[in-house]
Amino acid sequence: MTFAGYQNEIYLQGLSGGVPPFTTDPDGLEASARERLGPGPFWYVAGAAGSGATAAANREAFDDWRIVPRMLTDATTRHLGTTVLGTAMPAPVLLAPVGVQSILHPDGELATARAAAELGVPMILSTAASHSLEDVAEAGGDSPRWFQLYWPNDPEVCLSILDRAKKAGYTALVVTLDTWTLAWRPHDLDRAYLPFLRAVGTAIPFTDPAFRAGLEKSPEDDLPMAILRWVHLFTGTDKSWDQVAFLRENWDGPILLKGIQHVDDARKAVDAGVEGIVVSNHGGRQVDGAVASLEVLPEIADAVGEQVDVLFDSGIRTGADIVKAVALGAKAVLVGRPFAYGLAHGGQVGVRHVLRSLLADFDLTLGLSGHRSPAELNRDALRARR
């Protein structure tokens, strides 16, 4: 069945009085997540850095481009599948690394992994997960999975986590560079809400032998000390571009650097020998006032798109957004908040609904604009608004 088949399924249900389990409208989904979640968890997800200017800019940037549909192109049958850095996926879409998912549903990342596996969509597991990477791997079964690294300051812990990720079948490593400390986030500050201080999102280090070896007492016996060590391990940056070599030497599979917004940093990533980058501003959660992620995508894709795979995130909400990002040079996109809101709607079924809706929308928008596959998309499909 194609992804567009979700549309038929929904309308057919209507004949017997049924409607979709949750809304298909991205803004509506955020609004209903707000009703379901407490203010702490909701704003942790929905919030952004500072005034929210960059989060808003991320969305507005999609409006600067408009799709120009083409007719009679024989786009009835479409193939959405693609392969990125050795991972075959049913569409150019992955689940972004989102930490602390148990604040949204008790099954957290396990539910997300199960929903992703149902559809074959790759999941990128965060270092700040609320379940261990082995448990999430088991929940995902044979489905593709990548691991996102918050680069620990202790090389022994870093090596141990990389080793566990490899053994558990995570094939690519996504190294996030833009969050070596959390930005000023007024919604969370006003509630003094930080999940890690309550040991949510610490499952991977807390189950790590190298991390535990550095503690006088186990996290079970002295939680505050373990949390303190967690904070020190992941905060601050004494890292530099030449240290990417350490990861290169200790990870066999592809490496992507996430958080790239400048052409020169994209070139440095190429020089560092990685296979991919994620053009991302963390969904506007880090540098308030920063440029919209979509704005810098074309120049970065032009500069390094031949040498590395360029992925994109920050602001993807609809099928049209995916069409635009791919047409502007992204090999694939990551989706963040929408699936997190899906998770808040009953766990696995909620994530599944959000993914199926987004992929159906993408499938239909791709076809109706005259394209049979994402590979056919390029800048000819778009027109700049101004």
Ligand X SMILES: O=C(O)C(=O)c1ccccc1
Ligand Y SMILES: Cc1cc2nc3c(=O)[nH]c(=O)nc-3n(C[C@H](O)[C@H](O)[C@H](O)COP(=O)(O)O)c2cc1C
**Which residues are tagged catalytic?**
282
Q: Which two tokens stand for residue 244?
A: 């990417």
Q: Is 239 among the annotated ligand-binding positions?
A: no
x/- mask, ligand X, residues 199-228, rule CB under 6 A, reads --x---------------------------
Note the helical H segments in the chain. Answer: 5-15, 26-36, 39-46, 53-63, 108-119, 133-140, 155-167, 186-190, 203-206, 209-213, 223-234, 244-250, 263-271, 293-304, 319-327, 337-344, 348-368
The nearer residue to ligand X, 162 or 340, going by C-beta atoms, is 340
3-class state of residue 196 by DSSP: helix
Q: Is 185 among the annotated ligand-binding positions?
A: yes
**CB 109 to ligand Y: min, Å:** 11
Regarding 126 and contact with ligand Y (CB under 6 A), the answer is yes
Say how far apart CA 258 and CA 243 lie, in whole Å.
Answer: 15
Cβ partners under 8 Å of residue 138, min gap 6:
none
Say how far apart CA 310 and CA 276 lie, in whole Å.
Answer: 6
**CB 3 to ligand X: min, Å:** 28
Say how far apart CA 125 and CA 327 lie, in whole Å.
Answer: 27
- Would you say 54 and 289 are in contact if contact means Cβ atoms under 8 Å apart? yes
Q: Is 240 among the annotated ligand-binding positions?
A: no
Regarding 99 and contact with ligand X (CB under 6 A), the answer is yes
Q: 148 has which bridge partners?
A: 174
Residues in the chain: 386
- Binding span for ligand Y by CB under 6 A among 29-37, 160-168, 210-218, 328-336: 328-336
- Binding span for ligand Y by CB under 6 A among 67-75, 92-100, 165-173, 202-210: 92-100
- Binding span for ligand Y by CB under 6 A among 26-34, 93-101, 223-231, 261-269: 93-101
Q: Is 32 among the annotated ligand-binding positions?
A: no
The nearer residue to ligand X, 78 or 282, going by C-beta atoms, is 282
Which single residue brings its beta carbon nearest to ligand X? Answer: 99
Q: Is 258 among the annotated ligand-binding positions?
A: yes
The count of chain residues that interact with ligand Y, using the rule CB under 6 A, is 24
Say how far apart CA 187 and CA 221 lie, in whole Å.
Answer: 32
Among 131, 212, 258, 285, binds ligand X (CB under 6 A): 285
Say how far apart CA 17 and CA 114 lie, in whole Å.
Answer: 28
Among 313, 321, 361, 363, binds ligand Y (CB under 6 A): 313
- Would you say 61 and 320 are in contact if contact means Cβ atoms under 8 Å apart? no
The count of chain residues that interact with ligand X, using the rule CB under 6 A, is 7
φ, ψ of residue 214 to 5 degrees: the values are -85, 5
The nearer residue to ligand X, 29 or 100, going by C-beta atoms, is 100
The nearer residue to ligand Y, 93 or 376, going by C-beta atoms, is 93
Rounded to whole angstroms, the maximal C-alpha distance in the chain is 69
Q: Which two tokens stand for residue 73?
A: 């192109």
Regarding 2 and contact with ligand X (CB under 6 A), the answer is no
x/- mask, ligand X, residues 151-190, rule CB under 6 A, reads ----------------------------x-----------
Regarding 283 and contact with ligand Y (CB under 6 A), the answer is yes
**What is the Cα 338 distance to its own chain's centre?**
10
Among 128, 158, 257, 355, binds ligand X (CB under 6 A): 128
Q: Which two tokens stand for residue 46?
A: 């929905």
Regarding 282 and contact with ligand Y (CB under 6 A), the answer is yes
Regarding 282 and contact with ligand X (CB under 6 A), the answer is yes
**CB 282 to ligand X: min, Å:** 6
Q: 333 has which bridge partners?
A: 93, 312
Q: Is 280 among the annotated ligand-binding positions?
A: yes
Q: Is 50 among the annotated ligand-binding positions?
A: no
**What is the Cα 175 distance to its own chain's centre?**
12
**Residue set of the binding site for glyoxylate:** 44, 150, 185, 282, 285
Q: Which residues bind ligand X (CB under 6 A)?
A: 99-100, 128, 179, 201, 282, 285
Q: Which residues bind ligand Y (CB under 6 A)?
A: 44-45, 58, 96-99, 126, 128, 148, 176, 258, 280, 282-283, 313-316, 334-337, 340
